[in-house]
C-alpha cells in the first residue's frame, strides 16, 4: 500500500509537471486555440525562420499597436477623457471664471453630457486647458499622480489594470521573437509615456501619439519645455501611417488595432512586401467587457469589419478567442 501510494504521488507529480511544462511552452496561454491565435503563431514562425522565404531580419521586425481599445479598455469613455475631467476639477480653484464658462461649468457640475455637447470645439478647449501651459515634467507628474489613485467607474480598478492580458502576452511573445513593439495611438503621446514602460514594457521612445507643440525656454536659468496648445500630429486614421513614418521611419510588418481609426495603419502595414500581419480586436464580449462596433461613438469599427477578409486581416473575437480579458488583480500591499 505504501509503495502504491508513493507511486501515485510520483505519477501525479509527474503529470502536474508535464502540464505546467506544456503551459510554460505556450507563449499565449490566454488565447483559445483557433484561427486568430494560429494567424499570430504562423506569422511569427514564418518571419523568424532563417531559411524561410518570408524571413525578416530582426531590425525590420517592427510591430505597432493601437492603445485605446486594443491594449486597454476605452469604455465607457477614453481614459484620457476621465483625466481631462478630473484635471478640470483639480485646476478649478485657480480658474474661478470656469464656473460661468462652458464646457468647464458643466464638467464642474458633473454634467458631462452637456460638457461634451459642444462637440470638437469644447473638447479642444478642455484639452488645451489641461494639456498645455505647463512644462513637460509638470504634465508627466500630473499623469503619474492621477493614475496612482484614479479608478475605472465600473470595475473600481486602477486604469492601468484595465489592460488586456492576451495582448500583454502577445507583446512579450513578439519581443521574445526579436520584434520591437511600438504604440501608435490617437491618445496623447505625453499622456501615455509616463506608464507604458511599466505596464506594457514599451519605453517612451517607442510611443507614437497625438502630439502638441513645445517651446524651449529658460526659467531661473534652468531649461524647460513648455507644452503649447497647438497640434503637431493628430495620430488617428491617415495620421497613423504619418506618425509611423515620422517616428519609426520604416513600415511595420505587423499592426494591431480595434477601430476604424486604425484602418490606415493596418492598410499601410499589410500592403508592404513579404509576410504581414494585420489584426483587429473585435469587442464582442458584453459579459466580461463591453460589446460594441459599428454604431459606437467610441472605437467605431465598421469599414474594418467590412474589409478585413478581403485585406487578409485577422479579426479577434474577444468573447471566443480570449480565455481571460484582464490580468489577475495585483496584491494591494
Which residues of this chain interact with its own copies, rule CB under 8 A?
Answer: 59, 62, 136, 180, 182, 189-190, 193, 197, 203-207, 211, 214-216, 222-223, 225, 232, 238, 241-242, 245-250, 264, 267-268, 271
59 prior amide bond cis, ω within 30:
no
Question: Taking the complex as a whole, how short is the minimal distance between the CB of residue 43 and its own copies, in angstroms?
Answer: 20
* CB 239 within 8 Å of CB 262: no
Question: Taking the complex as a whole, how short is the minimal distance between the CB of residue 138 and its own copies, in angstroms?
Answer: 13
Shorter beta-carbon distance to its own copies: residue 103 or 243:
243
Question: Taking the complex as a whole, how short is the minimal distance between the CB of residue 213 and its own copies, in angstroms?
Answer: 8
* CB 308 within 8 Å of CB 315: yes
Shorter beta-carbon distance to its own copies: residue 264 or 314:
264
Shorter beta-carbon distance to its own copies: residue 126 or 207:
207
Shorter beta-carbon distance to its own copies: residue 267 or 321:
267
Closest CA to 139 of 94, 96, 192, 187: 192
Shorter beta-carbon distance to its own copies: residue 33 or 55:
55
Question: Taking the complex as a whole, how short is the minimal distance between the CB of residue 274 and its own copies, in angstroms?
Answer: 15
Shorter beta-carbon distance to its own copies: residue 189 or 279:
189
Residue 183 CA: distances (Å) to CA of 235, 249, 326: 11, 14, 19
Question: Taking the complex as a whole, how short is the minimal distance between the CB of residue 199 and its own copies, in angstroms?
Answer: 14
* CB 164 within 8 Å of CB 111: no
Shorter beta-carbon distance to its own copies: residue 157 or 180:
180
Shorter beta-carbon distance to its own copies: residue 103 or 212:
212
What residues contact residue 245 under an 8 Å CB cut-off, 6+ apart?
A: none
Closest CA to 202 of 28, 63, 41: 63
DSSP secondary structure letters along 164-215:
-HHHHHHHHHHHHTTPEEEEEEEEEHHHHHHHHHHHHS--GGGEEEEEEEEE
Instruction: Report helix, strand or coil for 326.
Output: coil
Question: Taking the complex as a whole, how short is the minimal distance between the CB of residue 255 and its own copies, in angstroms?
Answer: 12
Strand-pair category, 180-188 with 62-65:
parallel
Question: Taking the complex as a whole, how short is the minimal distance between the CB of residue 328 and its own copies, in angstroms?
Answer: 26
Question: Taking the complex as a whole, how short is the minimal distance between the CB of residue 309 and its own copies, in angstroms?
Answer: 17
Grid cell 525590420 in the structure block, residue = 60
Beta strands in the chain (DSSP E): 62-65, 180-188, 207-219, 222-233, 254-257, 277-284, 291-292, 314-317
Amino acid at each position: 500500500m505504501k509503495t502504491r501510494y508513493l507511486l501515485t504521488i510520483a505519477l501525479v507529480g509527474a503529470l502536474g509537471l508535464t502540464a505546467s511544462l506544456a503551459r510554460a511552452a505556450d507563449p499565449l496561454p490566454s488565447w483559445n486555440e483557433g484561427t486568430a491565435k494560429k494567424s499570430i503563431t504562423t506569422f511569427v514562425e514564418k518571419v523568424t525562420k532563417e531559411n524561410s522565404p518570408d524571413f525578416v531580419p530582426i531590425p525590420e521586425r517592427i510591430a505597432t499597436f493601437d492603445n485605446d481599445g486594443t491594449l486597454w479598455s476605452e469604455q465607457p469613455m477614453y481614459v484620457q477623457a476621465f483625466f481631462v475631467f478630473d484635471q478640470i476639477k483639480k485646476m478649478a480653484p485657480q480658474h474661478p471664471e470656469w464656473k460661468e464658462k462652458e464646457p468647464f461649468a458643466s464638467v464642474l457640475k458633473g454634467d458631462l453630457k452637456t460638457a461634451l455637447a459642444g462637440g470638437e470645439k469644447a473638447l479642444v478647449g478642455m484639452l488645451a486647458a489641461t494639456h498645455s501651459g505647463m512644462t513637460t515634467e509638470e504634465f508627466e507628474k500630473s499623469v503619474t499622480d492621477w493614475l496612482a489613485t484614479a479608478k475605472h467607474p465600473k470595475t473600481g480598478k486602477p486604469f492601468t489594470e484595465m489592460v488586456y492580458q492576451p495582448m500583454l502576452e502577445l507583446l512579450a511573445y513578439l519581443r521574445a521573437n526579436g520584434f520591437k513593439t511600438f504604440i501608435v495611438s490617437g491618445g496623447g503621446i505625453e499622456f501615455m509615456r509616463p506608464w507604458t514602460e511599466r505596464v506594457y514594457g514599451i519605453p517612451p521612445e517607442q510611443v507614437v501619439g497625438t502630439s502638441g507643440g513645445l517651446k524651449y525656454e529658460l526659467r531661473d536659468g534652468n531649461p524647460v519645455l513648455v507644452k503649447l496648445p497647438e497640434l503637431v500630429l493628430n495620430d488617428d486614421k491617415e495620421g497613423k501611417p504619418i506618425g509611423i513614418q515620422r517616428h519609426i521611419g520604416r513600415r511595420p510588418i505587423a499592426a494591431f488595432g480595434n477601430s476604424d481609426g486604425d484602418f490606415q495603419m493596418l492598410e499601410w502595414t499589410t500592403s508592404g512586401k513579404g509576410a504581414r500581419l494585420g489584426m483587429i480586436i473585435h469587442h464582442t464580449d458584453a459579459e466580461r467587457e463591453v460589446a460594441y462596433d459599428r454604431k459606437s461613438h467610441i472605437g467605431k469599427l465598421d469599414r474594418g469589419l467590412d474589409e478585413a477578409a478581403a485585406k487578409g486581416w485577422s479579426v479577434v473575437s474577444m468573447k471566443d478567442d480570449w480565455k481571460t480579458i484582464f490580468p489577475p488583480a495585483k496584491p494591494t500591499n
